[in-house]
Structure 1
Amino acid sequence: MSILINVNGEERVFDGEVVTPLLDVLRNTLFLTGAKDVCREGFCGACMVHVDGVAMASCLIPIGLARDKRIVTIEGLGRDDHLSPLQQALEDLDAVQCGMCFPGMVMSLTKFLEEKPAATRNEIKRSLTGNVCRCTGYERIIDAALALCQEQGSKS
């Protein structure tokens, strides 16, 4: 079956089973490998994408339910020459990690900070509850998100 989806602003067509996980379509058909295939249970947050403006685990979304939705992956947040504000803050504070959980954290935090741009440290920590990292602490990531909140607050 042909299913039309909008990924990072581009109309794309997937020909296959409607129950195929969105994660598989992104990685194996569209070759967008930022969303990581880790737990396949929606527990770790590594495959997080935005679907119609909501952060969701792409491993749990059958492609049939993504039909006619606007999907944004980590590849759609920014480009090498123009990072998103959060990506820039993470780079500025050297908060980049191994890359397995990191894209999902960026996607979760991006959506959270859009909704709560003046978040506190504790609110930022709580927003990362669904993102599991096994290689490091979360402190530099939280520091970068908090710095972005403070920077945006000073511009207001």
Structure 2
Amino acid sequence: MNTNLTINGQRHSLTLEPETPLLWVLRDELGLTGTKFGCGIANCGACTVEVDGVATRACVMPIMALEGKSVRSIEAEPDRIVAALQAAWIKHQVPQCGYCQSGMIMAAASLLRVKPKPSDADIDADISNICRCGTYQRIRAAIHGAAAHLDGSAA
């Protein structure tokens, strides 16, 4: 199947099986290895990217479902939300092993696009990604910090 995909603002024409998961297109076909393989069943979130601004688990997203949609991975030029999250991640010392971080940032970006001032309950409900290092409190603080920076209320 010939598929046209827009990934990180660039158009790609690929000939692949329609069931091919987006994760393997990103990693194997395009060399975009920032999106990680974790579980392969959309449970852990290491493979999270944005599809039309919505957090999506790339390990189970077949490319046939992406025609006409825009995919954004961690390698994309950071927009203001992702840049704010990346700065907050550093400020709050979120990363430890770092494996989940790209998926976590993409999930957080998607949350902030919908809820610019999320509550703790919003974060807990929307960010279902797994961090094996257990930095959830720092992740929550970083999301709040990025939200405050984006609305201008950060000190």
Do Structure 1 and Structure 2 share a fold, with TM-score over 0.5?
Answer: yes
Aligned to 1:115: 114
Root mean square deviation, CA, Å: 1.9
| Percent of aligned pairs with the same amino acid | 36
Secondary structure of 1:75's match?
A: coil
User: What's the CA shift for 1:93?
Assistant: 2.1
Aligned to 1:132: 130
Aligned to 1:96: 95
How far, CA to CA, are the matches of 2:113 and 2:13 in structure 1?
Answer: 29
How far, CA to CA, are the matches of 2:65 and 2:143 in structure 1?
Answer: 31
- Whether contact under 8 Å (2:84, 2:150) holds in the other structure is no
1:131 partner amino acid: N
How far, CA to CA, are the matches of 2:150 and 2:78 in structure 1?
Answer: 18
Q: Does residue 1:36 correspond to 2:36, yes or no? A: yes
Secondary structure of 1:13's match?
A: strand
- Whether contact under 8 Å (2:22, 2:59) holds in the other structure is yes
User: What's the CA shift for 1:153?
Assistant: 3.9
Q: How many residues align?
A: 152
How far, CA to CA, are the matches of 1:137 and 1:99 in structure 2?
Answer: 10
2:146 partner amino acid: L
How far, CA to CA, are the matches of 2:52 and 2:149 in structure 1?
Answer: 27
How far, CA to CA, are the matches of 2:106 and 2:51 in structure 1?
Answer: 11
* Runs of 5+ unmatched residues, structure 1: none
| TM-score normalised by structure 2 residue count | 0.89
| TM-score normalised by structure 1 residue count | 0.88
CA deviation string 1:7-44 (max 9, x = no partner): 00000122111111111000000011111111111111
* Runs of 5+ unmatched residues, structure 2: none
2:107 partner amino acid: S
User: What's the CA shift for 1:68?
Assistant: 2.2
- Whether contact under 8 Å (1:90, 1:141) holds in the other structure is yes
